[in-house]
Structure 1
Amino acid sequence: MFSNLIEPLDSTGRARVVVEFARSTALLEKEPTTQLELLLALRESVDRAMYWQAPDAEDKLLAQPQVASALRPLAVAVSPYCPDWWVDAMAPGQQRVQPANSPSIEYQEAWQAGAGVRQWYSQAIADETAAQTYIPDPAANYTGMWWSTPAHYSVPATTRVLDGLGPVALWAQEDTQTPQYAVSYPISLIGPCRVLEITSAHDYARLVEKYPMRMTRSRFHDWYRVTGSVDEWYIPHWGLIAKDYEAVHLTTAAYLEGATKRIPISGGSTLMAGWSPDVTYWVGNCAVLGGRPEEWQLAAQGSNNLWLAA
């Protein structure tokens, strides 16, 4: 995004970026941004969320106080055009997105979220146990276990559908190799469905404090590289969450506030790692296939790559 501006990170480089932000703000005040432009900007932001390496040159540049101050007027100019769904609760008509070459999920076993959470828990404990042998030097070269989501195939992750654009997950999904083709699967809800809404980084901190799972040794090295902090690290205990809720939904605004940042909690810290905008994780067995899947293709349209119905 700023590849032509980030070197060097001295006063000259900062000044160039500050001028560019001011120019962009003036242009935006004359010609309002579109919903598609905001969605593409969201996609780029999510693509750059990384939890296994130190901040790169662009991250360091944007974190500098002078640059951050110059960015605020641009954010203020954009904010009136941010869509309502960025702050809305989970929408009906949720869909799950899979690369077209992934195994089909058109069978009931793929939606047994309760069993998936149990398997996730067993693997998480195994990972934490194996990590006890790691050198406790935060700079040591260990990596691989950095997410705080219930990452298991049988635990569905879904998003809302945008008119004419398809599911949000097509456009903004962390840690994914963007395929050329994808399939979206509509879901229906059966039985009672209690959804916990996460609307801010504060909400996420309270979630982890209420349902804590200490994973310091397995997250220690990756999360130190991202945040520069040495701490006791916690993730949500999804097995405990599943006793009280069938699903957890993260708003897009909460994602933008909390992603890649150390979030302090009582007794330590957490990261919102591996999440995505508007994502809902289903930890109870109330989500089932609800319609015909739809195929999508990533195609060049002008200077952008856009998802179109195949």
Structure 2
Amino acid sequence: MITAADLLDHPRGRRFCFELVNGVQQPDDPDAVASALAAVPLPVLSEDSVVVALESTAESALWWQPPDATDALLSRPELRPALTRIARWAVDSPVVRQLAEPQGGAWTVVFDDDDDQPRRPSTGQALHDWAQQLRDEVAAGSPGVTSGVWWTTPPWPLLQTTRAPFPSAGPLALWAVEDSFGQEHARALSTPIDPAARVFTVDGPDDWAALCRRWPLDVTTTTRRNDWRLATGRQGTWVLPDWSGVAAEYDLVHLTVAGWFRTSGDAVKVDDDRASVVAGWTPDSAYWLTDHELGTGTWAAWSRPGNSGVWRRHD
């Protein structure tokens, strides 16, 4: 469940509210924007409109540069009353509630046109290699002000699944992607859910901070220091979870849709000295930290010509 405060108090939530009424023009003056938002009609939301709004919101996650002009504008106190009206309308919508609490099975998504099932090396080996490469990067350090790896997801090729809150639009991993590459073709496979899996659920910043305190990897000497400073405005020590350590106690880490709204775009306080970010995540992503079967079904083809609009399945 998400609340109006979940949307109003965080960058992605405010952007989602704005994208839901994307017909509003952006005058330069905050008071004029506030007036426009206060007057915009609030119709009954459709599944497609929510899909497009969430996709645009995810695309606004710019972890290698400062927040864009729209995000900066939406954070102004003059816009709070008008955004409160929109946030309350959004969370009262059955469609938004369905987005925030997706039901049904999980899906693996692959963005390519290859008809073959992708090969995946051992999860344990992939985590070991990732941790070693990151420690090498930390030891080498990053000279000057540069950009580099900024995401905090478990590494490829760990299995990632998402659910499909609106079956006709497909799994969230098709369209709610931070820094997407503009793909137009994908395949999705129904992937079994293991009820015995040990799951760490990230439902907000406190959960992410707990992960970072329990399994911290200090990345302050890497390019992340500069990228995350630009994105959040914070300077200081930065950490991310050591996924190779998390895998010793959990099979799966799951970021809920509400967790994404509550964390993406903010610096998450880990303790008095350290902070982290939830960057590069698709809402509802579940990453398998231990080996897990893809499933034996048939890959379903999805596409959207011109990299615009809603993804649709075709057989």
TM range (shorter): 0.7 to 0.9
Segments of structure 1 that go 5 or more residues without pairing to the other structure are none
Instruction: Pick the aligned partner of 1:195 from 182, 195, 199.
Output: 199
Whether 1:72 and 2:72 are equivalent positions in the alignment is no
Q: Is the 8 A contact 2:252 2:287 kept in 1?
A: yes
How has the CA–CA distance of structure 1 residues 111 and 70 changed in structure 2, closer, same or farther, with 3 Å as cutoff?
A: farther
Instruction: State the match for 2:245 in structure 1.
Output: 240
Alpha-carbon distance, 1:300 to partner: 7.1
What aligned pairs does 1:81-92 form with structure 2 within 5 A after superposition? 81=93, 82-87=96-101
SS in structure 1 at match of 2:31: helix
Question: One-letter code of the match for 1:292?
Answer: T
Alpha-carbon distance, 1:290 to partner: 3.4
Let me know the Cα RMSD of the aligned residues.
2.4
Larger strand percent: 1
Question: One-letter code of the match for 1:270?
Answer: S
Alpha-carbon distance, 1:45 to partner: 0.4
Q: Is the 8 A contact 1:87 1:199 kept in 2?
A: no
SS in structure 2 at match of 1:274: coil
**Distance in 2 between the 1:5 and 1:157 partners?**
37
Instruction: State the match for 1:114 in structure 2.
Output: 124
What aligned pairs does 1:168-187 form with structure 2 within 5 A after superposition? 168-187=172-191
Instruction: Pick the aligned partner of 2:295 from 261, 279, 289.
Output: 289
SS in structure 2 at match of 1:213: strand
**Distance in 2 between the 1:102 and 1:20 partners?**
47
**Distance in 2 between the 1:190 and 1:163 partners?**
21
Identity of aligned residues (%): 25
Instruction: State the match for 1:45 in structure 2.
Output: 57
How has the CA–CA distance of structure 1 residues 277 and 263 changed in structure 2, closer, same or farther, with 3 Å as cutoff?
A: same
Whether 1:124 and 2:134 are equivalent positions in the alignment is yes
How has the CA–CA distance of structure 1 residues 233 and 206 changed in structure 2, closer, same or farther, with 3 Å as cutoff?
A: same
Give a deviation string over 1:199-220, Cα, whole Å, max 9, x none. 1122112221222111111111
Instruction: State the match for 1:250 in structure 2.
Output: 255
Segments of structure 2 that go 5 or more residues without pairing to the other structure are 1-18
How has the CA–CA distance of structure 1 residues 106 and 289 changed in structure 2, closer, same or farther, with 3 Å as cutoff?
A: farther
How has the CA–CA distance of structure 1 residues 157 and 309 changed in structure 2, closer, same or farther, with 3 Å as cutoff?
A: same
Alpha-carbon distance, 1:241 to partner: 0.6
How has the CA–CA distance of structure 1 residues 3 and 117 changed in structure 2, closer, same or farther, with 3 Å as cutoff?
A: farther
SS in structure 1 at match of 2:302: strand
Alpha-carbon distance, 1:5 to partner: 4.4
Instruction: Pick the aligned partner of 1:134 from 118, 135, 143.
Output: 143
TM-score (norm 2): 0.84
Instruction: State the match for 2:286 in structure 1.
Output: 280
Question: Which deviates the most, 188-197 or 266-275?
Answer: 188-197
TM-score (norm 1): 0.85
